[in-house]
């Protein structure tokens, strides 16, 4: 199925009743060159890059539920590359560039909207920090603009500029940042990967690893039988520790719950993605009109996919501080996703000490924006057995070596990243 203006017109004339399935719901074969555990955005992107960039098409993606049922469908859909540390800057910009061509690459409308991401600053010190970050971005060829108060007033006249405690002084803007439709990203990668021969296998939970005499992983035990594989890649953020434990590994990761929220729909208000710099609150407005927003993780270990009221209150206070007029808007939906919180706030994309097993984990709460980049560099690792040049620092042994990538400077305290 190839999507185009002609396929759309044809379908319109037949009352949109003849659309075909966009990807095959496959049954497992006995053996694959590569098995990816996890049918989220990262797993499906990895499979697509393996097939399209590295010519490895005998690939299966195993998903224990339905594709996109985990964090790929539970985020606030923000894309950006405004990072400051070596390792992160190059990687997230690689990902940003892949977002910019994703719809053409996949022949799928993922609704990538480069509406801009602005981080507001509220003090002189914060302005200096943002200026530094913006300069770091620009040195690395990433767009960044430091806006003063006048420019922010013009862009977002509805903000509360009279806040005496946390006055808005300006913001750091990345115009190329924005949002994408999270479910469509999953379906788009499934669509394009399936067309290249990748088997997407749902309701297939991995229950163990098959290992040969030397300890090498040669396949997986699943709820749908044994599946052999020359290489196995894990892309199960949120559950990485549980899957790694089946191979006898302990990871530098804690699982925490992050909540996200949607308000009832209102007329167009917020033109971009905006963050409050004096607390933790980020917001954009969906095409349906709902405000989509979030803040901090709850802060305690959890696999429950739901959070608690103190963080909800804190997030809403952040929103009210910026926009007191949203106080009368009702909250429509709220949900929680399980984050792989790593010990330095950065991801891990590496071979594991177990031969044949590869790890893509530790995305904290920044995994969505990384989806295409993560897919490319993980596919590179699986295909070539060496890290992609933009992922040479995301190593599993960096904690032991003291080579952390700690954007927030919090140390090994995962609930603070």
Residue ranges in contact with another protein by CB under 8 A:
239, 241-242, 250-255, 299-304, 306, 308-310, 313, 343, 399-400, 412, 414-415
Which CB sits closer to another protein, 90 or 414? Answer: 414
Up-side HSE of residue 322: CA atoms within 13 Å toward CB?
A: 28
Please state the closest distance from residue 341 (CB atom) to another protein, in A. 9
Strands 357-361 and 225-234: parallel
Which CB sits closer to another protein, 84 or 299? Answer: 299
Which CB sits closer to another protein, 78 or 405? Answer: 405
Q: Nearest to residue 199, comparing CAs of 33, 3, 2, 374? A: 33
Strands 206-211 and 199-201: unpaired
Which CB sits closer to another protein, 8 or 245? Answer: 245
Residue pair 376/382 in contact (Cβ under 8 Å)? The answer is no
For residues 270 and 368, give the distance between their C-alpha atoms in angstroms, rounded to a whole number: 21
Please state the closest distance from residue 141 (CB atom) to another protein, in A. 33
Q: Nearest to residue 292, comparing CAs of 325, 315, 322, 317? A: 315
Which CB sits closer to another protein, 271 or 299? Answer: 299
Token representation of residue 250:
């302990």
Which CB sits closer to another protein, 177 or 414? Answer: 414
Please state the closest distance from residue 399 (CB atom) to another protein, in A. 4
Which CB sits closer to another protein, 82 or 255? Answer: 255
For residues 160 and 162, give the distance between their C-alpha atoms in angstroms, rounded to a whole number: 5
Please state the closest distance from residue 356 (CB atom) to another protein, in A. 22
Question: What's the order of all strands across the beta sheet hosting 117-121?
Answer: 145-148, 170-174, 117-121, 273-276, 281-285, 290-301, 253-265, 331-342
Token representation of residue 170:
């300006």
User: What is each CA distance from 118 to 182, 288, 413, in whole angstroms?
Assistant: 20, 21, 27
Which CB sits closer to another protein, 98 or 243? Answer: 243
Please state the closest distance from residue 363 (CB atom) to another protein, in A. 15
Ramachandran angles phi, psi of 37, nearest 5°: -90, 120
Please state the closest distance from residue 252 (CB atom) to another protein, in A. 4
User: What DSSP designation does 50 have?
Assistant: H
Which CB sits closer to another protein, 238 or 387? Answer: 238
Residue pair 346/405 in contact (Cβ under 8 Å)? The answer is yes
Cβ-in-10-Å burial (0-12, 13-18, 19+) of 30 comes to: exposed
User: Per this entry, what is the length of the chain?
Assistant: 417
Please state the closest distance from residue 243 (CB atom) to another protein, in A. 11
Residues linked to residue 227 through DSSP beta bridges, in sequence order: 220
Would you call 9 helix, strand, or coil by DSSP?
helix
Please state the closest distance from residue 155 (CB atom) to another protein, in A. 34
Which CB sits closer to another protein, 212 or 313? Answer: 313
């Amino acid at each position: 199925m190839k999507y185009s203006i002609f396929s759309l017109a044809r379908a319109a004339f037949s009352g949109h009743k003849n659309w075909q399935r966009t990807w095959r719901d496959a049954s497992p074969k006995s053996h694959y060159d590569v098995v990816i555990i996890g049918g989220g955005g990262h797993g499906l992107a990895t499979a697509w890059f393996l097939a399209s960039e590295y010519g490895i098409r005998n690939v299966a993606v195993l998903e224990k539920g339905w594709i996109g049922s985990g964090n790929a469908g539970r985020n606030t859909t923000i894309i950006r590359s405004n990072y400051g540390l070596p390792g992160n800057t190059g990687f997230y910009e690689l990902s940003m560039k892949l977002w910019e061509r994703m719809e053409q690459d996949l022949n799928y409308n993922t609704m990538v909207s480069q509406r801009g991401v602005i981080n507001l600053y509220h003090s002189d010190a914060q302005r200096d920090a943002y200026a530094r970050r913006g300069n770091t971005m620009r040195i690395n060829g990433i767009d960044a603009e430091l806006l003063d108060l006048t420019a922010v007033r013009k862009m977002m006249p509805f903000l509360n500029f009279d806040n005496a405690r946390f006055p808005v002084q300006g913001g750091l803007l990345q115009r190329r940042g924005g949002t994408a439709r999270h479910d469509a990203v999953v379906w788009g990668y499934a669509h394009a990967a399936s067309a290249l021969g990748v088997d997407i296998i749902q309701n297939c939970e991995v229950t163990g690893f098959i290992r040969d005499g030397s300890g090498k992983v040669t396949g997986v035990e699943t709820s749908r039988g044994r599946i052999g594989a020359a290489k196995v890649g894990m892309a199960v953020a949120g559950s990485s520790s549980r899957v790694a434990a089946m191979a006898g590994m302990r990871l530098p990761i804690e699982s925490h719950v992050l909540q996200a929220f949607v308000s009832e729909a209102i007329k167009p208000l917020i033109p971009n993605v905006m963050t409050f710099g004096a607390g933790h609150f980020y917001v954009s407005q969906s095409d349906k009109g709902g405000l989509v927003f979030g803040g901090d993780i709850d802060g305690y270990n959890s696999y429950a996919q739901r959070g608690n009221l103190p963080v909800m209150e804190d997030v809403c206070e952040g929103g009210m501080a910026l926009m007191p007029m949203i106080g009368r808007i009702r909250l429509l939906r709220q949900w929680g996703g399980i984050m792989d919180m790593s010990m330095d706030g950065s991801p891990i994309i590496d071979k594991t000490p177990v031969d044949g097993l590869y790890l893509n984990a530790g995305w904290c709460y920044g995994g969505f924006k990384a989806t295409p980049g993560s897919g490319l560099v993980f596919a590179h690792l699986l295909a070539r057995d060496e890290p992609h040049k933009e992922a040479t620092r995301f190593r599993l042994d960096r904690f032991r070596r003291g080579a952390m990538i700690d954007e927030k400077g919090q140390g090994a305290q995962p609930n603070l990243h």
